[in-house]
Structure 1
Amino acid sequence: MKKFHGALVALVTPFIDGKLDEQGLKDLIEFQIKNGTHGIVPVGTTGESATLSFDEHKMVVDITVKTVNGRVPVVAGTGANSTLEAIELTESARESGADAVLSVVPYYNKPNQEGIYLHFKEIAEQVDIPMFLYNVPGRTVVNMLPETVARLAELDNVIGIKEASGSLEQVTDVLRSCPDDFIVLSGDDFTAMPSICVGTKGVISVVSNVYPQAMAALMETALEGDLVKANELNRRLFPLMKLMFAAPSPAPAKKGAELLGKIKDGTPRLPMAPIDDATLARLQATMKDLGLL
């Protein structure tokens, strides 16, 4: 199994005139790998998976796997609030050659903990591919509790979790409840460094879309135990971390990638709106302070 540690980018999906920009996606992936990103996570929340058709979803994963060509792990987003749809997306990612999948807690339906457990259990039993759970209660409404994660960690295919509750208490409870080889990744850039201090292995990062080299360095430094240097890097990047969520994600990340010249158009699909002028000015100023512009 590949090593799922460090800074894995929650990759944005580039569009031109509302359609998938295939060459732009390939260029983004090359930019990420050149700058030290430890893994590629296409078609997650930041990749606007909720507004992609099944064919577009499959195309993004296919292109990502072929472009990466084994250089870093590919963890394809395959979550859905329909268990049958999540199975279909997971099987598609397996056929495309993804190294693992990322499956979010069912949103909108508001299942109880038993429903969450049975949802992921069914996916894991139906499709033979390593799976990361994805807990993001700010988007799904429902919080997957550590005891549910621990039950799921007993299943062969469930190898880890992207924990985006923003709670170090919950992260620590998950780590205490699960086997030592269960991989816990932060789902928020701003908790990534402190989470490593309690035992996580990295982050699935939005900031990496704009500054992959720095996020990779931050994770490497923290994992090596150099907390003085890691704190310096974390504080330097913190304004950019906050700006990535100054408007609904992934609009700031896509605009940042556009400002870098890495994608032609940073406009997200509706219902996500582009960032306003004030946020744009702050983003430009912060990127200049970091030497990116």
Structure 2
Amino acid sequence: MSIMAGFGAGTEHVVLRLRDGMASGVLSFPLTSFTDDGDLDPEAYRAYLARQLATGPGAVFPACGTGEFSGLDEDEYRSVVADTVLIADGRLPVVAGVGYGWAQALRFARIAEEAGADALLVLPHYLVDAPEAGLVEQLRRIAAGTRLPLIAYQRGPVAFTPEGLRAIAQIPTVVGLKDGHSDLDRLQRLTLAAPDDFLFFNGAATAEIQARAYATVGVPAYSSAVHAFAPEIADACFGALRAGDDATVNRLLRDFYVPFVALRDRVPGYAVSLVKAAARLRGLPVGPVRAPLTDPGPADLAELEHILDTGLALVGAVRRPV
């Protein structure tokens, strides 16, 4: 069984590029740059993104969770996606985030399509719990309103059964699933229920921690929030995982990733706030987070600085950019 049979040439090309990208590098989820007053800073974002993409990620996902999608208005979203398409310049797939209910998700989808995005990541809907039939219908409605391929994101209130996975895989242009639940028993059942060429990737927070476990159920590809501030560390871990270099993976996990996750879990929202703070520590022009997120205080910032310096030292890099 193949998902390619019902695709047009454009969608098939995007899927093949995504598959190649997932095998060649981490998936980049860039931060969105704001000024100290909280306004969008497009010039800073372009400068920041150019540095990130120069390191060669497999694909770029602007305006998603790490990019504070829920804090952007439609004009800001258009700017972020258009600038990402501009900086990517066709070198790698651009997958923009969309979300909320299907009607609002379609507004963002059409903006992303006009801006030149290659595909869309459908973020979990807001607030309400919903039966699986509703989750499937949500994707059907979005797919009916845009030509762009869709990747579903299961996390929080969104979780598919094998039956639900089969249903969404039959929707034209739904091409993959990002998993943030880390339930490997469920995920194995989903991969077995899916078409052979359906795309899966590990979207757990700080996915490197669980990358080896995900690979055992056939899902080696993953997104990396660490790439947003330390692509040297993210790429070193990715390379070691692909090479089967357990000693290097264990050293990075033990001395950098585990302490980082322990700090991340201390405060709600730190999955984004710490990433942005670490980017600022490296002199990257990303600015603060927007409310309701909060930036870390002095004690947590000092601990983050130590963790970051340790991780960079492990891969022979330095904190301050040239």
TM-score, structure 2 normalization: 0.83
Q: Which residue of 1 aligns with 2:195?
A: 179
2:150 matched residue in structure 1: 131
- Asked if 1:119 corresponds to 2:141, the answer is no
The answer as to 2:174 corresponding to 1:154 is no
Matched, 1:279 2:300: yes
The structure with the largest strand share of the pair is 1
Q: How much has 1:224 moved relative to structure 2?
A: 5.2
Q: Which amino acid aligns with 1:184?
A: F
> Partner of 2:272 in structure 1?
250
The residue aligned with 2:61 is 41
**Does structure 1 conserve the Cα–Cα contact (< 8 Å) formed by 2:32 and 2:286?**
no
Cα separation, partners in 2 of 1:36 and 1:237, compared to 1, 3 Å: farther
Name whichever of 185-194 and 281-290 sits farther off. Answer: 185-194
* 1:76 pairs with 2:96: yes
Q: Tell me the secondary structure at the aligned position of residue 26 of structure 2.
A: strand
By how many angstroms is 1:194 displaced? Answer: 2.2
Moved more, 122-131 or 224-233: 224-233
- Residue 231 of structure 2 is matched in structure 1 by 212
Partner Cα distance (2:166, 2:255) in 1: 35
Q: CA RMSD in A?
A: 2.0
Residue of structure 1 aligned with 2:282, choices 224, 235, 260:
260
Equivalent residue, structure 2, for 1:28 = 48
Letter aligned with residue 260 of structure 1? R
Partners of 1:153 and 1:84 in 2: CA distance: 21
| Aligned length in residues | 288
Answer whether contact 1:208 1:215 (CA < 8 A) is retained.
yes
Task: Say which SS state the counterpart of residue 160 (structure 1) adopts.
Answer: strand
CA 1:231–1:121: 2 relative to 1, 3 Å: farther
Q: After superposition, what is the alpha-carbon deviation per residue over 1:183-209, rounded to whole angstroms, capped at 9, x for unaligned?
A: 111112122332123211411221111
Give the aligned partner of residue 89 of structure 1: 108
Distance 1:21 1:229 in 2: 37
Q: 1:72 to 1:235 in 2, by over 3 A?
A: farther
| DSSP-derived class of the 1:15 partner | coil
Q: CA deviation at 1:220?
A: 4.1
Judged with a 3 Å threshold, the aligned counterparts in structure 2 of structure 1 residues 180 and 259 are, in CA distance, closer, same or farther, namely same
CA distance in 2, matches of 1:223, 1:145: 29
Amino acid at match of 2:203: G
CA–CA distance in structure 2, aligned partners of residues 242 and 22 of structure 1: 32
2:126 to 100, 107, 121: 107
Give the alignment partner of residue 62 of structure 1, picking from 82, 85, 96: 82
Whether the 8 Å CA contact 1:43–1:57 is kept in 2: the answer is yes
The alpha-carbon deviation at position 133 of structure 1 amounts to 0.4
Give the TM-score of the pair, scaled to structure 1. 0.90
Partner of 2:9: none
Alpha-carbon displacement from aligned partner over 1:185-244 (angstroms, at most 9, x marks no partner): 111212233212321141122111122233234334434555565444444542334444
Give the counterpart letter for 1:135 in structure 2. Q
Opposite residue 49 of structure 2, the aligned amino acid is: I
- Partners of 1:26 and 1:63 within 8 A in 2: yes
- Residue identity in the other structure for 1:280: L
Q: After TM superposition, give the deviation of residue 254 of structure 1 in Å.
A: 0.5
Tell me the equivalent position of 2:10: none
Distance 1:286 1:47 in 2: 22
